Amino acid sequence: MEYEEPLFFTVMQYADAADRDVVDMVSGNPDWGAPEAISEGLHDYADTGGEQFQYPPSAGLRDLRERIATRRGVETERVIVTNGGGMANTLGMARALERFDGSEVLMADPVYPYYPGKTEMLGGVQRFVPVDDEGRLNPADVRAAASDETACIVVNTPNNPTGAVYREDAMREFVAIAEEHDAMLVSDEVYDHFDFSGAFTSALSFDSANVAVTNSFSKTYAITGFRVGYAVLPERDAPAARTRNMLTNVATSRPAQAAVLHALETTDTSYHEANRERLRERVETFTAALDRAGAEYTTPEGAFYVLARFPDYPGTMANAKRLIDEVGVAGMPGEAFGEARSDWLRFALVSPRVETAAERLASFF
Amino acid sequence: MEYEEPLFFTVMQYADAADRDVVDMVSGNPDWGAPEAISEGLHDYADTGGEQFQYPPSAGLRDLRERIATRRGVETERVIVTNGGGMANTLGMARALERFDGSEVLMADPVYPYYPGKTEMLGGVQRFVPVDDEGRLNPADVRAAASDETACIVVNTPNNPTGAVYREDAMREFVAIAEEHDAMLVSDEVYDHFDFSGAFTSALSFDSANVAVTNSFSKTYAITGFRVGYAVLPERDAPAARTRNMLTNVATSRPAQAAVLHALETTDTSYHEANRERLRERVETFTAALDRAGAEYTTPEGAFYVLARFPDYPGTMANAKRLIDEVGVAGMPGEAFGEARSDWLRFALVSPRVETAAERLASFF
């Protein structure tokens, strides 16, 4: 499997070019709108100019880093504001490969395709651990796959694409496995505001020098285009990661940082609660239709996605395109995420037309 | 010489903490203000929201790429919008090391410190070519240093820190040397709007599959904090560079791209002419004071910087700090840029108080 070119854009372009109405369930772009504070923060920033338009500190605006550090209960020096969660993961994985002897990166199959792509870019070796029937990495399987060759274990909770949310005991095990094998656990927690289970546990809950946590405001505030994320690194790894961030990007875009800072200062929890409630309803609507269609699926505990398998309709790229053309629903082919769920299709619940899509699927299958 | 941590921030922090008035001539932050269109573009963007706040295409907003391509006379597919000139250089240098057999990166001494820092980060080998008395790389010296080991030749025109602007014949030679040795010429042209000589020649003037040009709107529009730059790669290298950009950063911040696009559409050449004229006057004021101080210096043909050597006052970090404390002028120590100009100090002419600084220096020395 080639992960060099994540296929999201390919499928989205195909859907855009289709000669019919298509419900887009491909992208991870929230449709519910950013909090008003994002626009306000941008307007305020646009009125400054001069020095305010110049280089921010390379690791991020001080107030933003401090606010993140307070929220996460870590030292400010461990926080690096990055160009989205993408760069945060790049920093965490690069640091793991740099610090530890091994060159293997362990990750789940099915996998968010950027992880294997980054592994290759950074000169690491991909190693996949298939998830269990509920879409979760079993710590015992991770332990069996780990070895002296392991430099990095990547987990994503809540998970894209399976919707799994790892419990405290599983997270503790992942941390322990990283420590036992002299490796870094990179825990990508960009969907932490979209936990329906109430059981989400950040890897930062465990005091370990082998844990890097990555996050982003892309999903949290429905601003995937702003590119503001962050990495929290172990104290000993933060300086090297700051250097890599500086040498790669110099700094993270300041208008976007200013908008995010304003949103952190003024947005209350009701914004996030409303988004979770909306998603819960969409999960119900969509899975009810999947039941009618005779599909197998995993009910997501978090994030935006439902993985589903239709009878005699494997989740190939060809079948994803056929679904666009014949049914008017665009989903991601399971094969884009690896082997373990290559029969499945992934539907993102980030469209106000989830009900339309559900009806179309129920009547087609 | 360690280039892992470019020293700009160190010196700026020292100047900020000084117990006296200090004229900042360290940073490369323009003080003349962005065109009004930048703020307008941000305000317009802040009023959109929804889909407009979501992922832009990974290689940049289509309209922005097309406008850049038209200006530079290249195919749109060769243009990648990046997180500033920093990421553009990362892409160009990474691609050179990936595509060609050698691992050496040839660059000038004195050097913009990010180039050797990036070389190390990317696993390349630094090789320096000292500039001549006028602060220019002599093509004959570059040819003598080039070999089968050369993967990349980095030039910066107009030059930071020497102020040199390479003439057409020199640029043609650099391109030819890259072709002869199966290497990439990475021509960093971020100061192209600050050419006082009228002789600036882009490496894109030569039709070659061995040329990558990098640029940025940071200096052009006085928005170093926005992080919008671009790389123009050879057709055969553009896909791999797009993949690296996607895997590293996913995309470039969209509010900043929107603001830059609006500025490109509406800002006329008088903005750039006024900036050049202001800088010309500052060069005159400052070099007149250097004459009175008995300093040796290179009159810049472009960019923002003057390299100067004072009698019995080598450009060490200790002496740069002493200048802050005793004279109230902050400049960069020459040793931050390598060996060849380690006796010198670099002064950035991006302060409205150039005259004050000039007087202070003239009376101290």
Contacts of A133 (CB under 8 A, 6+ apart): none
Of residues A271 and B4, more confidence is placed in A271
Both structure tokens of A234: 């172990």
CATH code (residue A184) = 3.40.640.10
Both structure tokens of A285: 């609507």
CATH code (residue B313) = 3.90.1150.10
Choose from B27, B61, B83, B190 for mutation: most chain A CBs within 10 A.
B83
Contact A244 B121 (CB under 8 A): yes
Q: What residue has token string 């339309």? A: A356
Question: In this predicted model, what pLDDT tens digit does every residue of B49-94 receive, in sequence order?
Answer: 999 999 999 999 999 999 999 999 999 999 999 999 999 999 999 9
Question: In this predicted model, what pLDDT tens digit does every residue of B140-199 receive, in sequence order?
Answer: 999 999 999 999 999 999 999 999 999 999 999 999 999 999 999 999 999 999 999 999
Question: In this predicted model, what pLDDT tens digit does every residue of A1-40 receive, in sequence order?
Answer: 555 556 777 898 899 999 999 999 998 899 999 999 999 9
B231 and B276 together in one domain? no
| Residue B2 located in a structural domain | no
| Residue A308 located in a structural domain | yes
Asked whether the predicted pLDDT for residue B6 surpasses 80, the reply is no
Contacts of A355 (CB under 8 A, 6+ apart): A285
B77 and B212 together in one domain? yes
Contact A47 B39 (CB under 8 A): yes
| Residue A2 located in a structural domain | no
Establish, for the pair of chains A and B, how many residue pairs have beta carbons separated by less than 8 Å. Answer: 192
Q: Which of B204, B233, B266 is the last residue of a domain?
A: B266
d(CA B217, CA B11): 24
Domain of A105, in residue numbers: 37-266
Contact A253 B256 (CB under 8 A): yes
B183 and B311 together in one domain? no
| Residue B14 located in a structural domain | yes
B153 and B165 together in one domain? yes
Q: Which residues of chain A have pLDDT under 50?
A: none
A213 and A357 together in one domain? no
A56 and A23 together in one domain? no
A57 and A192 together in one domain? yes
Beta bridge partners of A56: none
A180 and A126 together in one domain? yes
A109 and A246 together in one domain? yes
SS (H, E, C) chain B: CCCCCCCHHHHHHHHHHCCCCCEECCCCCCCCCCCHHHHHHHHHHHCCCHHHHCCCCCCCCHHHHHHHHHHHCCCHHHEEEECHHHHHHHHHHHHHHHHCCCCEEEEEECCCCHHHHHHHHCCCEEEEEECCCCCCCCHHHHHHHCCCCEEEEEEECCCCCCCCCCCHHHHHHHHHHHHHCCCEEEEECCCCCCECCCCCCCHHHCCCCCEEEEEECCCCCCCCCCCCEEEECCCCCHHHHHHHHHHHHCCCCHHHHHHHHHHHHHCCHHHHHHHHHHHHHHHHHHHHHHHHCCCEECCCCECCEEEEEECCECCCHHHHHHHHHHHCEECEEHHHHCCCCCCCEEEECCCCCHHHHHHHHHHHC
Of residues B10 and A332, more confidence is placed in A332
Predicted local confidence at residue B205, as pLDDT: 98
Q: Which of B221, B247, B266 is the last residue of a domain?
A: B266
A198 and A346 together in one domain? no
Contacts of A198 (CB under 8 A, 6+ apart): none
Predicted local confidence at residue A6, as pLDDT: 62
pLDDT band at B102 (very low <50, low <70, confident <90, very high): very high
Tell me the residues of chain B between 53 and 112 that have a Cβ less than 8 Å away from chain A.
53-58, 83-84, 86-87, 90
| Residue A1 located in a structural domain | no
B218 and B255 together in one domain? yes
CB B194 within 8 A of CB A23: no
Q: How many domains does one find in chain B?
A: 2
Question: Which residue of B9, B43, B56 is in closest CB contact with A43?
Answer: B43
| Residue A71 located in a structural domain | yes
Question: Which residue of A42, A87, A255 is in closest CB contact with B248?
Answer: A87
Question: In this predicted model, what pLDDT tens digit does every residue of B234-283 receive, in sequence order?
Answer: 999 999 999 999 999 999 999 999 999 999 999 999 999 999 999 999 99
Contact B121 A43 (CB under 8 A): no
d(CA A347, CA A295): 13
CB A286 within 8 A of CB A354: yes
Highest mean pLDDT among A311-315, B2-6, B94-98: B94-98
B216 and B228 together in one domain? yes
Q: Which of A235, A266, A297 is the last residue of a domain?
A: A266
CB burial of residue B176 (10 Å; 0-12, 13-18, 19+):
middle
Q: Give the burial string for B93-120 (b: 16+ CB within 10 Å, else e).
A: bbbbbebbebbbbbbbbbbbbbbbbbbb
Contact A226 B255 (CB under 8 A): yes
